[in-house]
Structure 1
Amino acid sequence: MDGFYIGHKPVGISSSKFVLDISKSLNTKAGHTGTLDLEAEGIMIVALGQATKYTQYFNILPKTYEAKGILGIKTDTQDISGNVIQKIEDVNITCEELKSVIEKFKGKITQIPPIYSAKKINGKKAYKLARKNQVQSIELKPITVNIYSIELLECNIPKFYIKTVVSTGTYIRTLINDIGDTLKVGATTLIIKRTAIGKFDNESVGKVYSIEEGLYFIPSLILDHSFIKSLKQGKILTYQSQDGMYKILGEDGTFQGLAQIKNNLLKAIRMQSQ
C-alpha cells in the first residue's frame, strides 16, 4: 500500500509507537511527516510504502493547534506532567491583558526549545539528557518560527484556551510558557490538540490519500514516457517553465516522482521505482 494515512494520535502514546501500530496493522512500511508530544493529541500524517520517500516535503505546511494553558505555574517540562518550579497563588491578570500579550506573538518569533524535547545535542536527544539529570549539559539554541495566526478562544483566569496556526518546528508548550513569562506570572500547558496539517483536518482522519493527493501543495507537470524515462536515468533535460519543484505525472495521470526546474533545466529529485 502506497499513500498517506491521516490518523489521530491519542494522549499517552508516542508518535513512534502510533506509526508502528499502523505499520503492523496494514502490514506495510510506515513513517511520519512530523511528531507530536507524548501528552499531545491530534492529526498525524503517516506515510505508507513508497510514500515514505516524501515525508520531508510536508514541513512547509502550516499546522493548526488548540491549546489550554494555566497562568501562575511553571514546570520543567513546560506542561502539567512536569515538576513545578514556580507557583503564584494569586494571578492578578485580566483577560484583556492576556489577549493583548497573546496578539504580540503573531509573526516571526524566537523560541528556545524545551529541554524535554527531541532536539539533539551532540547526537543525543535533549529529553534523554534531562531524564539523566544532565541538565547542565543541555544548551539549546534559539530557533525562529512563524506564528501565522493566534487567538484567545476562552479566558477564565488562571486558565485560558488558544487557537494558533504555526510553522513546522514551533513548540506550543514553549509558546504557552513564553506568554506566561511575558505576563511575569509564568504559565504551563494543560492540553495540546493538533487539529490540522495543511488541508488535512479531523474530517480527513481514517482516510488514505494517494501520493499525488497527499502532495497537493506541489504543482504538477504531465510528461510523456520518453521524458520520464530520461529523468529516471538521471538525465538533465531542457524544459521551459517557472523555477521550482514539481510532481511528475505520466500522460495517464500516474504519479512518477518529483523533479526540480531551475533556469529551464529539469532534473529528477526522487522518482518512483517500478
Structure 2
Amino acid sequence: MMQLQSLRAVRAAASSSSSSARERAVRAKAAEDAAPSSPAAANAVAAGAPAAAAAADDLLDELYVAAENAATAASTRGAGCSSAAPVVAASAAAGGAAEAAPASEDGSSEAKQQQQQQQQQQPSSPTASGGGGGSGRVPPTHVVAPDLPADLDVFNNAVLLVDKPREWTSFDACNAIKGAMKRLGVKKVGHAGTLDPAATGLLIICTGAGTKSIEGFMAAHKEYSGTLKLGEGTPSLDAETAVDQRLAWEHITDEQLAEAAKKLTGDIEQVPPMFSAVHHQGKRLHELARAGVTVDRPARPVTVTRFDVKRDPNDRQLVHFSVGCSKGTYIRTLGHDLATSLGTTGHLVALRRDAIGEARVDKAWDVQVLVDKLFAAIREQRGGTEADYQQNRGGNRRPRGNGKGRARGKGKQQQAAADTQPAAGQTTA
C-alpha cells in the first residue's frame, strides 16, 4: 500500500510539471498575440510546447502503469522484495518529463544542474583520524627524538618511538615511562608489537587515546636486521639460552646461502618457536619451554618481502641479514629455517628492528634520555621537588626481574619465586 501511495505522489508531482509546461505554452501564445513582429518564434513555442507536454504525459502514464504492476506483483510475492525499484522508476520518469519541458527564461534549471555537478566533483575532506576509514578520531602526535613538544598535553594522545635496549622486555620499556605519564594524568600506556628481550630497536609506545592506534601499527610492515651464527643451535633460537646443538657448517657456500634465503621469501608458513608468547591450552609457549615441555604447534602463514644475506668477511660462521616481513613473522624461526635448509643449525646472536611502517629507529628515543627529559619538563611546568620525581621514576631505570616479563594478580607470588630460578638453558650470574 505504501508503495502505491509513493508512486501516486511521484506521478502527481510529475503531472504538475507537465501542467506547468502547458501553462508556459499558453503564455507563449499570448506573447504571440502581443508581439506579431516575431511570428516564427512564437509559432515554434506554441506548437512545440504542447507537443512536448503531451509526449511527457503519455510516457508518464505508461511508466506509471508498469511500475504499479511491478509493485503489486512484489507485494503478492511476500516480504524480501525491494520496494525501491518502482519508486525509482517513477522518479526517473518524472525527471525525464521535467527535462522535456522548456526551461524558464532565467535558466534556473541549467544553473541547478551545474551546481550539482560541481558538488559531485569536489573531493571529500579527509577524516580527522588521518588514516581514512571514517573513524573520526584525532590522529595522535608522534613524539620523536631529540626534542619534546612544548605542550605536555599532547601525551593524552601520543605515539613515542623508543629504541628498546637489550635485555629489556617490551613491558619494561612501557614501565619506564609510566611514572612520567602518571604525573601527567595519562592512564593508558601500551606498546605496538613485542620485541624479544635479546632484541633491540624500534618499539612504538602509545599513550592515552593514542593506544587506539596500536592495532594499526601492529599490522604494519616490519623491517629487521641481525646476525645468524651457523652450526650452533639453542632452544630459544637466539642467545637467550645456551647452545645445545653443534653441526658442521663449513660446507655452505655463499651462493647456496643466497639461494636458500631466496626460497624463504614470498608467502610462506612458519612454526612458532617454543620460546614465544603464543598460547597453548591456557599457557604461553615460553612457560612450557622453560618447564622442559615441547608441544606441537600449527604452522602460520606469513609474508617475507625481502631476505638479504651476506657473510661476515672476518668470520664466515656469521651471516648478516636484513628482512622485510608481515605481522607475525618470527625472525628467529626464519634464521633457523635458513640454517636447517642448508643441512646445519643456527641461532641469532643479534636482532634489531629497524622500522614499523614509515616509523624508523633513527628517529627513536633512548629510553633513559626520554625518561629524564620527561621528568625535567614536568617539574619545570608542573612544579614539585626532585624527591617527588625520584620516587616516581626510581624503579624505572632498569628492567624488572630477569627479563621474563611480569605476572599480574595471583601470579605475582609465583612470578617472584620464578625470578629467583634460572631459566632453562641459562646460568645465574
Question: Which aligned segments of 4 or more residues in structure 1 are displaced greater than 4 angstroms?
Answer: none
Corresponding position: 1:146 with 2:303: yes
Contact 1:93 1:157 in 2 (8 A): no
Q: Is the 8 A contact 1:153 1:163 kept in 2?
A: no
CA RMSD of aligned residues (A): 1.6
What SS does structure 1 have at the residue aligned with 2:365? coil
Q: Provide the residue aligned with 1:200 in structure 2.
A: 359
Higher relative contact order (CA 8 A, sep 6+): 1
Residue of structure 1 aligned with 2:175, choices 20, 40, 55: 20
Q: Distance in 1 between matches of 2:362 and 2:249?
A: 41
3-state SS of the aligned residue for 2:244?
Answer: strand
Deviations 1:77-121 (A, max 9, x none): 111232333202552111111111111111011110100100011
CA contact (8 A) 1:94 1:157 kept: no
Corresponding position of 2:192: 33
Q: Is the 8 A contact 2:353 2:361 kept in 1?
A: no
Partner of 1:271: none
Aligned with 1:8 (options 139, 156, 163): 163
* Separation (CA, whole Å) in 1 of partners of 2:209 and 2:346: 42
Higher helix proportion (structure 1 or 2): 2
Q: 5+ unaligned residues in a row in structure 2: which ranges? A: 1-154, 367-429
Higher strand content, 1 or 2: 1
CA apart distance, 1:40: 0.3
TM-score between both structures, scaled by the size of structure 1: 0.71
Counterparts in 2 of 1:41-56, with a 5 A limit?
41-56=200-215
Identity %: 28
Stretches of structure 1 lacking an aligned partner (at least 5 in a row): 208-274
Distance in 2, Cα, partners of 1:87 & 1:154: 19
1:66 and 1:195 in contact (8 A); partners too: yes
CA distance in 1, matches of 2:283, 2:238: 22
Aligned residues: 205
Q: Distance between the aligned counterparts of 1:154 and 1:174, measured in 2? A: 19
Whole-angstrom distance in 2 between the partners of 1:90 and 1:180: 9
The one-letter amino acid paired with 1:114 is P
* Structure of larger gyration radius: 2
Q: In the alignment, is residue 118 of structure 1 matched against residue 277 of structure 2?
A: yes
| In 1, Cα distance between equivalents of 2:249 and 2:276 | 30
Amino acid at match of 1:170: T
SS at match of 1:84: coil
SS in 2 for 1:96: helix
CA contact (8 A) 1:75 1:83 kept: yes
Choose the corresponding residue for 1:95, options 251, 254, 278: 254
- The answer (yes or no) to whether the contact 1:15–1:37 under 8 Å persists in 2 is yes
